[in-house]
Amino acid sequence: MLSVMQGKNVYLELEMSTGKMYQYSKTEQEGYVKVVGQNPQTKKEAVSYRKYYENGIVGDLKGLSVRETDHGKKLSVVLWNEVDDKMYFMSFPLFDQKKSISSFATSIIRYSPALELNTTYRFFPYVIEDEYKGKPQKKYGVSIKWGRVSDGAVDDVNKIPMLTMERTKTLEDGTKEVIPGDVPRTEWEEDITGGVTANTKKKDKYLWDTLNANLKEFTGGGSTKKTFNSKDPSDVQAEAPKQEEKKAESTPAVKPNPDFDTKPEKVTVADEEDEDDLPF
């Protein structure tokens, strides 16, 4: 069996403060933005370069999996874009700082039962500045829509089904009404100081089970696969073998990138209201 991989692997990380996917570089390149930060170990200034993908990523879904990294579990999404001739490996934090399923991962998991391999989607992570009870807040998530690789267009008419969130609604008399949903809501419990603590065990268990039931194995899809029977003398290659061999050797292998795994930034837990029609 001869397998010929085409294209370039692009490893994308998530800038959680903005919700933008970016490609990392240690050196200055055209199209990259200089980012100045601090090395968490040495406390010295650290300079890197990032190429941001402002419009999300469009491609055929080739994988959805959980990856073990030096910084904990990550949710990995693989998209193949035939027009760009690139395989995009997107990495999302599976857990937040409080060890609950992260808001970004929650969005993807809610879509996961409806996602199909080899179907074209656009993945668009976001952070929305909002207000709740007069106080500023941020909503974190990932919008997934059917896409088209030829021009990057998305289907704004037909919505991909997603699991609903169980939530509470405060009535005029001050009582709370439970609005049913697929994903159990966060339960707020009083702590010893009289404050409240979030209990996400039921929600996390449901999301974890849902994710594991809907993982999509990455098998190098997006490649051009050619086969032959090496034991059958009549099964000969029509084209010049040297040309095909050179093509196979020049194709980059699918392998982990050490720059792909970075320590996640601290994020706050977003509220659990169902997502409205997003403006992107």
- In tens, the pLDDT along 11-33 reads 999 998 999 999 999 999 999 99
Structure confidence at residue 79 (pLDDT): 97
Rounded Cα gap, residues 222 and 197, in angstroms: 46
Mean pLDDT of 174-201: 89
- pLDDT exceeding 70 applies to what percent of the chain? 76
Structure tokens at 203: 């929600």
Structure confidence at residue 247 (pLDDT): 34
- Weakest-pLDDT range from 53-67, 94-108, 209-223: 209-223
Chain segment 208-220, per-residue pLDDT in tens: 999 999 999 987 7
Structure confidence at residue 95 (pLDDT): 96
Structure confidence at residue 259 (pLDDT): 38
Strand residue runs (E) in 26-93: 33-38, 45-53, 57-69, 72-81, 86-93
> What ranges do the domains of the chain cover?
2-40+50-162+217-227+256-260
Rounded Cα gap, residues 75 and 73, in angstroms: 7
Query: pTM, whole model, 2 decimals?
Result: 0.76
Mean pLDDT of 181-205: 91
Mean pLDDT of 48-54: 95
Structure confidence at residue 174 (pLDDT): 82
Mean pLDDT of 36-49: 86
Q: What is the mean pLDDT of the chain?
A: 81
Strand residue runs (E) in the chain: 2-4, 8-15, 20-25, 33-38, 45-53, 57-69, 72-81, 86-93, 120-132, 135-146, 167-170, 176-179, 187-190, 196-199, 224-226
Task: Say if residue 202's pLDDT is above 70.
Answer: yes
Confidence of residue 168 (pLDDT cuts 50, 70, 90): confident
